């Protein structure tokens, strides 16, 4: 009897283990919902609005993937993750894709066994100081007290930067952006450091944004992008090409406004291939021919998502910079759809 129990246990364990490694696409289709890991709330990137509906730049990626796979951009279960829980959530299979301002680094890609499918926001770490301090360069920050969000790559960059420039500093580790803001405004730290996009978003929320300056130095490369588990390459391809479809859509002028019109057929073969009227790229991914059309229609192309959530006309007010299309001098460059 005892033996049976243990044998049974082992069998169940083996089955459970098998399931975790199986095709994510089939799981998502069977579930009818995409489990997407996002932040616990960072306005502009991923935050629930007043009605509890998730909205933001990273959320747009989740919705596009859900639209491509399931044909329904609302078929997403948003799983809020913290800096600490995000990787465990992804590797345990609790979420299918993680779209959470996550920096693409070597060890995360290799040692943690994830695949970054692309970069949806090129960021870099910066410093913000009160104007009254009279500091104009990060090189003058020797001896400063620095507020820093813990559990992010910013901690490592900061240590590297100060060591490289032979300067000392006192880190004040802080859990959330809101708390960091309070500490910084009360003068408990001289400097606040995080990704430049985050600094812009934080400063926008201040009563007197003009009293604070973001120093010119960008001390790190922070390519933020969605990631999936390593090993399920079919699923990785789907997320990767859904993202590139959004980028390519901007390049070829496919917007949520004109997509129906263009889907009737155009004289640009690449547009036709993306929208599924020529060839059948969808079948190669195991999806419907209109997968990319659904993804773009979900929230618009890459440029539309950017402008709507974090662009210059939003409170976040970020300019495209490195995130402009390659044709405009940026780094957004989709491989060809053929």
- Phi (first) and psi of residue 260, to 5 degrees: -65, -45
Let me know the angle formed at the C-alpha of 105 by 104 and 111, rounded to the nearest 5 degrees. Answer: 120
Task: State the nearest-atom distance from the C-beta of 163 to another protein, in Å.
Answer: 6
Distance separating alpha carbons of residues 156 and 312, to the nearest angstrom: 30
For another protein, the closer CB: 153 or 197: 153
Token digits of residue 65: 């993937």
Task: State the nearest-atom distance from the C-beta of 152 to another protein, in Å.
Answer: 8
For another protein, the closer CB: 125 or 152: 152
For another protein, the closer CB: 16 or 284: 16
Task: State the nearest-atom distance from the C-beta of 166 to another protein, in Å.
Answer: 13
Sign of the Cα torsion 106, 142, 164, 323 reads: positive
Residues in touch with another protein (CB under 8 A): 2, 5-6, 9-10, 12-14, 16-18, 20-21, 83-84, 87-88, 91-92, 107-108, 111-113, 141-145, 150-152, 155-156, 158-160, 162-163, 169-175, 182-183, 186-190, 229-231
Task: State the nearest-atom distance from the C-beta of 197 to another protein, in Å.
Answer: 20
Distance separating alpha carbons of residues 302 and 256, to the nearest angstrom: 11
Q: Confirm if 132 and 211 have CB atoms less than 8 A apart.
A: yes
Task: State the nearest-atom distance from the C-beta of 167 to another protein, in Å.
Answer: 11
Specify which residues 128 forms β-bridges with. Answer: 192, 214
For another protein, the closer CB: 53 or 113: 113
Q: Confirm if 133 and 145 have CB atoms less than 8 A apart.
A: no
For another protein, the closer CB: 6 or 257: 6
Start-to-end CA distance of the chain, whole Å, equals 59
């Amino acid at each position: 009897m005892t033996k049976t129990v243990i044998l049974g246990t082992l069998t169940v364990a083996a089955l459970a283990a098998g399931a975790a490694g199986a095709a994510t696409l089939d799981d998502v289709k069977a579930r009818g919902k995409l489990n997407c890991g996002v932040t616990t709330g960072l306005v502009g990137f991923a935050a629930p609005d007043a009605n509890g509906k998730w909205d933001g730049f990273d959320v747009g990626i989740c919705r596009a993937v859900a639209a491509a796979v399931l044909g329904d951009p609302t078929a997403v279960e948003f799983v809020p993750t913290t800096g600490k829980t995000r990787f465990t959530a992804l590797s345990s299979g609790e979420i299918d894709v993680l779209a959470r301002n996550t920096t693409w680094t070597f060890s995360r890609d290799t040692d943690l066994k994830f695949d970054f499918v692309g970069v949806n926001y090129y960021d870099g770490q910066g410093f913000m100081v009160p104007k009254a301090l009279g500091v104009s360069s990060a090189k003058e920050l020797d001896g400063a007290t620095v507020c820093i969000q813990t559990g992010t790559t910013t901690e490592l960059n900061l240590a590297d930067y100060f060591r490289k420039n032979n300067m000392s500093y006192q880190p004040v580790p802080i859990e959330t952006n809101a708390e960091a803001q309070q500490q910084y405004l009360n003068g408990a730290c001289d400097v606040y450091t995080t990704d430049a996009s985050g600094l812009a978003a934080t400063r926008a929320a201040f009563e007197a944004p003009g009293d604070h300056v973001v120093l010119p130095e960008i001390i790190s490369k922070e390519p933020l992008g969605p990631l999936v588990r390593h090993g399920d390459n079919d699923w990785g391809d789907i997320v990767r090409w859904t993202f590139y479809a959004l980028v390519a859509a901007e390049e070829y002028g496919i917007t949520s406004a004109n997509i129906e019109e263009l889907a009737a057929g155009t004289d640009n073969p690449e547009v036709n291939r993306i929208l599924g009227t020529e060839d059948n790229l969808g079948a190669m991914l195991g999806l419907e021919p209109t997968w990319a059309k659904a993804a773009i229609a979900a929230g618009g192309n890459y440029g539309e998502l950017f402008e709507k959530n974090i662009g210059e006309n939003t409170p976040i007010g970020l300019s495209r910079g490195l995130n402009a299309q390659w044709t405009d001098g940026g780094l957004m460059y989709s491989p060809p759809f053929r």
